Every structure is written in C-alpha cells, then in structure tokens.
Structure 1
Amino acid sequence: MRGDDLVGDGDLAAAVWPSVPEGALVLVPVGSTEQHGPHLPLSTDSVIARAVAEGAAEALTGTPVGPPLVAPVIAYGASGEHAGFPGTVSIGRAALHAVIVETARSLALWAGRVVFVNGHGGNVPTLDAAVGRLRSEGHDAVWTGCGVPDGDAHAGRTETSAMLHVAPRLVRPFASVAGDPRPLAELMPDLVARGVRAVSPSGVLGDPAGASAEQGRAIMASMVASVADRIGVGRADARGRLLVRDDTAGTGETGDAVGPTA
C-alpha cells in the first residue's frame, strides 16, 4: 500500500514522511493503563480514546478542518487512584505534563493544530495545565474529552457497553460484576483520601449489568459527534478545553472522560 493511501486513512504511525502534509490537523488520543474491574482490559481508556479520535477524524474528512491525522495513543496517564490494583501503570502528573508538552512542541515543527482527545478523567488537571502552557507559548493546541451525559463513573455500564461495541473480544463476563453505585459526588471524598480499591474492592464504580454492544454503538456515536463538532467549531477556553457549539458563557464544559474517573 502506498504512503498516500495510509495518510488517507488518517493513521500517522503507518504513514511515510513524504506523504505527511505540512500544517495538518493532528488528533492525539490520551488514555491510561489502569484497572477497569475484573471484566475490562487495562487498556480500556486508551482503546476508547483512540476509537473516538479515529471516528472524529473520519467525520471531519471533507470539512474545512480535515482531513486530520490520528497519532499513536499516549497509553500511560495519571492513574494514582488505581494504584492499589495489579496491572495499573501510572506515570503521574509531572511526567504526563512533560509528555503532552513535548509531544505538541515536536508536532508543531510540521503540524498545524494539535487536539488531544482524552479518555481518562484522572488526566484532566494535567491536560489543563499542559495545554494552557502550550497555548501561552503560542502553540495551536487544544484538548477535549470523550464524555457522555449521565455516564457512570468507572468500568460500569457506560464503558462496558462502549467496549462491547469497539473491542468485544477484550470484554470478560460481567453478569455478576458490581461496584459501589453511589454518585461520584458522594464517592469523591473517599476516592481522594483512600483510592479506588478502598471504596470498591472490585475496582468498579457503578454496575455494568445490562451493558450491550447496541448501547455501546450509540455511546460511541455520541462521543464521536461531540468531539468532531467541538473540533469543527474550534473555540477553546483559556485552558485549551474545546467549547461546545452553544457554550456562549465560555465554561469549557467537555464531558472530561467516559466517566468522571474513567
């Protein structure tokens, strides 16, 4: 296959350098490697962030801002709240900050706008700080989350449905899997003080019961449409969070992740 064909598919990693256009819009998925209960893989946030970025790139092809390129996913994030579970790999906020900043600085040598597409709620403070710094340096960098309204917190019905649609072979049985179902606002003090394992020994915040690929298809379509629309509108707040089309107040609400701690 020719390099031009590969770039046409939007996969930066598969491209050859002569076929990479100057000034391209580049989407950089940002995920994590962290526990997602006994039924979802450690790569869940990364898989979903990559799928949303690819879907948004496809939706933006043929528009004034397209066609975008999708960079390899940043697969390690700030996941300290999940450190009590084997398999979790967290690089912490300082290291993630450096990775985001240096990634955008490098891309700026040939790319145009850089959009970080985030799939893990624990990355949000770092994205705010890092992208805010990049913008203060004059870089055209922004970020947005992969959120859905009323999504549960972590490894529950929302993420399980999304994974059943995107990567069903990676989903283990979940009929008897359940976690702490309390609202995130009620859970947050315990999560901050003691971590996820102390709150939910299974690692699940919510309940995946009833999850389905059909629901996942709708969830993914909603996330892709939201991210593509934000990128198309192109407005961001001072932290670099892309704004929704009707956000006249400039609040920067993004739906930071699949779930608030996902």
Structure 2
Amino acid sequence: MSNRRDEGGLADLSWPVVPPSPTVLVPLGSTEQHGPHLPLHTDTTIATAVAQAATARLRRARPRDSLLVAPAVAYGASGEHQDFPGTMSIGNDALQLLLLELIRSLSRWAGQIVIVNGHGGNLDGLAAAVVQMRYEGHDAVWVPCTAAGTDAHAGHAETSLMLHLAPHLVDMTRAEPGNLAPLNQLMPELITKGVAAVSPSGVLGDPTTASAQEGHRLLDQMADNVATRIRYGRVDRTGCLLPVAATCRT
C-alpha cells in the first residue's frame, strides 16, 4: 500500500494512511450570490484552490512535514446576501459552533489546524471559534485569502480568479459593473440593509475588466501569502496568523 501523505486531499485517504499529526488546512467558503455571472460556490472554490496551492508551496519548503487539505466548509455567514435567491447562510452563531466541533474533532489526531477563509462575512464567527479553541489548548489558527488591491465582491478579482479556476462556470455576457464606491463608504448601509440595498446586481466592483491571466496572478499571490503566514506568521488576538505588514481583516 502506498503512503499518500504527499497528496493534498484528506478525504481521498483511508484512515490507516493518514500520517501522524499532520498540519490540516480547512477551506472555509460560502454559498451565496456572486452577481449574475458567477456561481454560488465562488468563495468556496477560491478558498479550496488557495489552500491547495499553499500546501504545494509548503511541501516544497518543508518536504518532511505532513500537510493535508480537508474538504471545504461550503456554508458560512452570508446574511448580507440573503435578498438574492440561491444564498444559503447558517449565520455567525451556527458557524462558530460548527468550527468549534470541527476543530475539537480534528485535534484528536491532527497537528496544527489552519482555517483558510474565503468569505469576509465569516470573520466574526471564525475568530470567535478560533479564539475559544486556542483558549482550550487546541493548535488552531486562521488565515485570509487576500491579495493587494482587490475589489469587494464579484468584481474584477473574484471574476478573474474564477476565469482561471472554472471558466466554464463564468458567464461574461452577463458581467456588468456594480457599485464602484469604496467598501468603507458602503459598509454602514450594507450592514444594516444588505448588499441588495447598495447594488441591485449583487456586484461590488467591475467584473468586465477580469481575465484568467489576472486570476492566475491573484491565486499565486494569495497562496504565497497563506504559505508565508503558516511558515512565519505570529498569532494575533483573533487567532489569525499575521506576518509583518499584513492584516487579517481584509
């Protein structure tokens, strides 16, 4: 029987070949609207791709370490998108409880547990869960899927990433610019009334400028960022791995 410790997919393994105390990356996404041109699983697809690409980088840097990518958590806190059909949100309280139990279970056999977050709305529930788990003595942290200069939602960045990762699921004939105002200006109304109040299409940004080449570049940047945080990052008060000159709330 071959030892599959160098393959990324935890769910592909049988239990006897799971290596002792592996670092486990858990992609955390959402199932929510991403404008009229992107699929509902956009955040989950991106978080999974970032976790896989970061794992490949870590294996090259630390070839003796055991690293595995767990199946993604595909539901998150997406209440701000609830006005759009297709959105399925479990809310912050349920997300926090899900992550608490997941980390407790993983901790029975895994080493470090790294939640790779692909949806900003998950931050409150995610941080609360990881902080509690660390208080209980579990080696749990989280990292964001982030790159410099990206727009907010279903715009240039996410559309580029999906053109690279799943072009057959992107309908560029339906891609149109949404609300282009800076996110910090939109946040008060977005928090109180939801995304539909500031963008009837659900888009915050301009997807028409997207390209697969840009998506490849962004994925590389995100994966490099996650791998660097896991190798060198310090843990901040929210449980996020925070390298120098980086921030977790992006």
* TM-score category, normalised to shorter length: over 0.9
Who is 2:16 aligned against? 18
Letter matched to residue 90 of structure 2: I
Moved more, 130-139 or 233-242: 233-242
Q: One-letter code of the match for 1:125?
A: D
SS in 2 for 1:22: coil
SS at match of 2:137: coil
Q: Residue 231 of structure 1 corresponds to which residue in structure 2?
A: 230
Q: Is the 8 A contact 1:119 1:146 kept in 2?
A: yes
SS at match of 1:8: coil
The aligned runs of 1:185-200 (5 Å cut-off) are: 185-200=184-199
| C-alpha distance in structure 2 between counterparts of 1:120 and 1:174, whole Å | 25
Q: 2:77–2:95: 8 Å Cα contact kept in structure 1?
A: yes
Q: Distance in 2 between matches of 1:20 and 1:82?
A: 38
Q: Quick check: 1:58 aligned with 2:56?
A: yes
Deviation at 1:63, TM superposition (A): 3.3
Q: Which residue does 1:254 correspond to in 2?
A: 248
- Name the amino acid aligned to 1:253: T
Give the secondary structure class of the aligned counterpart of 2:84.
Answer: coil
Q: Distance in 1 between matches of 2:117 and 2:60?
A: 24
Q: Which is worse superposed, 58-67 or 193-202? A: 58-67
State the 1:255 CA deviation: 5.5
Number of matched pairs: 249
Residues 1:210 and 2:204 aligned together: no
- The yes-or-no answer on 1:151 pairing with 2:145 is no
> What pairs with 1:83-232 in structure 2 (closer than 5 Å)?
83-174=82-173, 176-232=175-231
Q: Distance in 2 between matches of 1:80 and 1:38?
A: 18
Paired residues of 1:156 and 1:205 also in contact (CA < 8 A): yes
1:104-161 Cα shifts (integer Å, max 9, x gaps): 1000000000000000000011111110000000000000000111210100000000
Q: Which one-letter code corresponds to 1:231 in the other structure?
A: I
Q: Report the alpha carbon displacement of residue 238 of structure 1 after superposing the two structures with TM.
A: 2.4
Distance 1:227 1:97 in 2: 22
- CA contact 1:39–1:171 (8 Å) conserved in 2: yes
Work out the CA distance in 1 between the residues paired with 2:249 and 2:146.
Answer: 4
Deviation of 1:223 (Å):
0.1
Change (3 A) 1:74 1:125: same
Residue identity in the other structure for 1:196: V
Give the drift of 1:101.
0.8
Q: Could you tell me whether the CA contact under 8 Å between 1:230 and 1:243 is conserved in 2?
A: yes
2:27 to 26, 29, 32: 29
- AA paired with 2:97? A
| Offset from partner CA, 1:27-55 (integer Å, 9 cap, x none) | 00000000000000000000000000000
Show structure 1 runs of 5+ residues with no match.
257-262
For 1:253, what is the secondary structure of its paired residue? coil
In the aligned structure 1, how far is the partner of 2:120 from the partner of 2:37?
20
Please state whether the residue corresponding to 1:57 is helix, strand or coil.
Answer: helix
Contact 1:57–1:67 (8 Å) recurs in 2: no
- Percent of matched pairs sharing the same residue: 53
Q: Counterpart of 1:45 in 2: which secondary structure?
A: helix
Give the Å deviation of 1:66. Answer: 3.1
TM (norm. structure 2) is: 0.96
Q: Using the alignment, how far apart are the partners of 1:45 and 1:118 within structure 2? A: 9
Whichever residue aligns with residue 99 of structure 1, its letter is L
The one-letter amino acid paired with 1:230 is R
Matches of 2:159 and 2:114, distance apart in 1: 26
TM-score by length of 1: 0.91
